[in-house]
Amino acid sequence: MAYQFDFGLVVSGEYGDWILQGLAITLKISAISIVLALVMGTLLCILRITKVKPLVWIAWTYTEFFRNTPLLVQIFFWYFGSYSVLPDGVNRWLNAQDFEFSCGVIALSFYTAAFIAEDLRSGIFAIPKTQLEASRACGLSFMQAMGYVILPQAFRIIVPPLVSQFLNLIKNSSLVMTIGVMDLTYMARQIESHTFHGFEAFTVSTLIYLSISLIVSFSIQQYNLRVLRTATR
């Protein structure tokens, strides 16, 4: 008997609700992780370019470790090993929240922050050193010069790679299903196990991931064009 495709089954009724619930979790974990990764990556980058050697080595070790180990291993590390490396108070707080979700956020944020730090450092190196020197000569501290002069320009330079990191994070969020986070991929797997219509379930989830990526890319592209038009006036 030939296989009967039934996309309506996975996008309507109870299974359609599962897809929407999974999508909501995917968007939530991605948004939180993007914000945290951006903040952490910026701090790491600043540490890398300071002249304080211990801070430079700490930031370098962090970026090399997290960039060169698989994300899935890091997810398992935080899920199974958080009790060993985090303070008891933090562990109690995580348990009071959604533990699996929190571990997923931590893993995605720590992993992506390492890549953002390197992208941002490249953007800073593209800015003439004389701008930092001139800022310091005007009386600004190192942090003030970075915050008011250097970082705004660097972020504008690295918009394309930064968007790529955000899109990678959204796609990488599918890995958190391995620790029980009920994201979009998890829900597609559940639908497959209930209906045996895995092709339809994962086709729908794939199209949703694709749509999210295209929307993010288009939005950033429009923002870039608007900024460029403003700058050329």
Q: How confident is the model at residue 133 (pLDDT cuts 50, 70, 90)?
A: confident
Residue 113 exposed, middle or buried by CB count within 10 Å (0-12, 13-18, 19+): buried
Q: Which residues contact 26 (CB under 8 A, 6 or more apart)?
A: 170, 173, 174, 183, 184, 185, 212
- In the predicted structure, residue 1 carries a pLDDT above the cut 60: no
Domain ranges for the chain: 27-174, 182-233
Does residue 186 contact residue 22 with C-beta atoms inside 8 Å? yes
What average pLDDT score do residues 21-37 get? 96
**Tokens linked to 98:** 């959604």
**Tokens linked to 55:** 């801070």
CATH number corresponding to 27-174: 1.10.3720.10
- In the predicted structure, residue 20 carries a pLDDT above the cut 90: yes
pLDDT of 162-219, one tens digit each?
989 999 999 999 999 999 999 999 999 999 999 888 899 999 999 999 999 999 888 8
Does residue 7 contact residue 191 with C-beta atoms inside 8 Å? no
Number of H helices, E strands in the chain: 12, 0
Q: How far is CA 104 from the centre of its chain?
A: 11
Can you give the pLDDT at residue 16?
93
